[in-house]
Amino acid sequence: MMCNDVRDLLALDPKSEDGVVHAHLSECEICASYRRQHQTLDVVLRAEMRWEAPAALTASVISATRPSC
């Protein structure tokens, strides 16, 4: 597998468990470094995308969707 192919796969899934990718990473330090960087970025982005709505907003949305009798 070529470096560009491996990097394309890793950009989509930094935690890829594909055997061919792992074989390439064991032989290519540049791609292994690329994977480590993307794994770190993936962790940071996932943490940033996780947020909790304020309680007042949640209550407002719930009350707005309840049918009034």
Instruction: Give the pLDDT band (50/70/90) at residue 68.
Output: low
What's residue 66's pLDDT? 76
Our measurement of the distance from residue 59's CA atom to the centroid of its chain's CA atoms, rounded to an integer in Å, reads 30
What's residue 28's pLDDT? 97
What's residue 29's pLDDT? 97
pLDDT > 90? residue 52: no
Q: Taking the chain, what is the end-to-end CA distance rounded to the nearest angstrom?
A: 64
42 to 22, 28, 48, 64: CA distances (angstroms): 18, 21, 10, 36
pLDDT > 80? residue 57: yes
Taking only the tens place, the pLDDT of each residue in 7-47 is 999 988 888 889 999 999 999 999 999 999 988 988 898 88
| The two three-digit tokens of residue 21, written as one number | 């990718």
